[in-house]
């Protein structure tokens, strides 16, 4: 077991990959608690796909990916809001329409510039080959996200739970809503290298959903999600090393399995617990 854990650490690329995966797993896990409680899973999916053209343009212009992703993430959200207000089309339809449109635009731009290898890396992640520049970008973006949430978590919880009350006591709910979306765009960029754009949403939903089944206290929910996101990413990276398979795929499959186990065995909200107490 010890050798199993230590052997990959002889390779510098594995040390980086394990560190980045774990960090990104933790960042996404914290955010996932807010997204699942707010009911924004679909929004997470949308924003994570919609950042693609921004990432490509940033690559063209030599700007940080995070900046491009941030701008396009917010553009997508604004467009979703605009279409919804101005037409009779329903919300989930508008979200699906806008994010696939943005994603397709990203694919077009990407196919014009990059090799098919780059394309695969952006879509499915390439944490084993992460460059030092991308590593630092991921670390900085992760820290910004974590610090912002640590400082403002009480406002964000209130915003998710009861936006009406938040407004009556003078909180700017529009700003909080955009803040949460901005954090979403940033963490998408952070997770880009690890699991790729397609699977980011899993990291942004699964830990929160699992923790939600396991706790009725927000603080504990975040800790469970953190443990799951961090450990899931760490173990997933190890497994992908030994099986020589996709890292992003491994991490997400592992997290999904943990979710299924929680769904069955959770002490209070699990299927077994419910079967045992038919009254509730």
Q: Which residues bind other proteins (CB under 8 A)?
A: 37, 151, 154-155, 157-158, 160-162, 164-165, 167-171, 212, 215-218, 220-221
Residue closer to other proteins by CB (options 77, 213) is: 213
Contact status, residue 200 vs residue 230, Cβ threshold 8 Å: no
Task: Provide, rounded to whole angstroms, the least separation between the CB of residue 212 and other proteins.
Answer: 7
Task: Provide, rounded to whole angstroms, the least separation between the CB of residue 169 and other proteins.
Answer: 3
Task: Provide, rounded to whole angstroms, the least separation between the CB of residue 193 and other proteins.
Answer: 31
Task: Provide, rounded to whole angstroms, the least separation between the CB of residue 277 and other proteins.
Answer: 14
Token pair 């949403």 is found at 201
Residue closer to other proteins by CB (options 53, 208) is: 208
Task: Provide, rounded to whole angstroms, the least separation between the CB of residue 243 and other proteins.
Answer: 36
What count of Cα atoms within 13 Å lies in the side-chain half-sphere of residue 7? 8
Residue closer to other proteins by CB (options 111, 172) is: 172
Residue closer to other proteins by CB (options 210, 247) is: 210
3-state secondary structure the chain: CHHHHHHHHHCHHHHHHHHHHHHHHHHHHHHHHHHHHHCCHHHHHHHHHHCHHHHHHHHHHCCCHHHHHHHHHHHHHHHHHHHHHHCCCCHHHHHHHHHHHHHHHHHHHHHHHCCHHHHHHHHHCCHHHCCHHHHHHHHHHHHHHHHHHHHHHHHHHHHHHCHHHHHHCCCCHHHHHHHHHHHHHHHHHHHHHHHHHHHHHHHHHHHHHHHHHHCCCHHHHHHHHHHHHHHHHHHHHHHHHHHCCCHHHHHHHHHHHHHHHHHHHCCCCCHHHHHHCCCC
Rounded distance, CA 186 to CA 192, Å?
A: 10
Residue closer to other proteins by CB (options 85, 116) is: 85
Task: Provide, rounded to whole angstroms, the least separation between the CB of residue 84 and other proteins.
Answer: 13
Task: Provide, rounded to whole angstroms, the least separation between the CB of residue 170 and other proteins.
Answer: 4
Residue closer to other proteins by CB (options 119, 144) is: 144
**Measured at the alpha carbon of residue 263, what is the angle toward residues 262 and 269, in degrees to the nearest 5?**
95
Residue closer to other proteins by CB (options 9, 151) is: 151
Residue closer to other proteins by CB (options 171, 179) is: 171
Task: Provide, rounded to whole angstroms, the least separation between the CB of residue 267 and other proteins.
Answer: 14
Alpha-carbon 270 to chain mean position: 24
């Amino acid at each position: 077991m010890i050798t199993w854990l230590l052997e990959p650490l002889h390779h510098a690329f594995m040390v980086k990959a394990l560190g980045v995966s774990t960090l990104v797993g933790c960042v996404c896990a914290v955010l996932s608690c807010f997204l699942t409680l707010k009911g924004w899973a679909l929004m997470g999916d949308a924003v994570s796909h919609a950042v693609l053209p921004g990432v490509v343009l940033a690559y063209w212009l030599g700007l940080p990916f995070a900046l491009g992703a941030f701008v396009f993430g917010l553009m997508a959200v604004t467009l979703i809001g605009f279409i919804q207000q101005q037409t009779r089309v329903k919300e989930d339809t508008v979200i699906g329409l806008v994010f696939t449109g943005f994603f397709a635009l990203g694919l077009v731009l990407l196919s014009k510039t990059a090799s098919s290898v780059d394309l695969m890396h952006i879509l499915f992640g390439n944490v084993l080959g992460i460059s030092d520049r991308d590593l630092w970008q991921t670390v900085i973006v992760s820290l910004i996200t974590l610090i912002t949430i640590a400082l403002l978590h009480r406002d964000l919880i209130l915003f998710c739970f009861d936006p009406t009350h938040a407004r009556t006591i003078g909180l700017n709910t529009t700003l909080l809503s955009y803040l949460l979306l901005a954090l979403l765009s940033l963490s998408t960029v952070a997770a880009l290298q690890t699991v790729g754009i397609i699977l980011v949403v899993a990291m942004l939903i699964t830990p929160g959903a699992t923790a939600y089944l396991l706790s009725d206290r927000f603080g504990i929910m975040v800790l469970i999600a953190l443990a799951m996101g961090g450990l899931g990413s760490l173990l997933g990276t190890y497994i992908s090393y030994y099986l020589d398979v996709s890292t992003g795929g491994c991490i997400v499959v592992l997290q999904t399995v943990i979710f299924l186990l929680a769904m069955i065995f959770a002490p209070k909200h699990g299927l077994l617990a419910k079967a045992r107490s038919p009254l509730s």
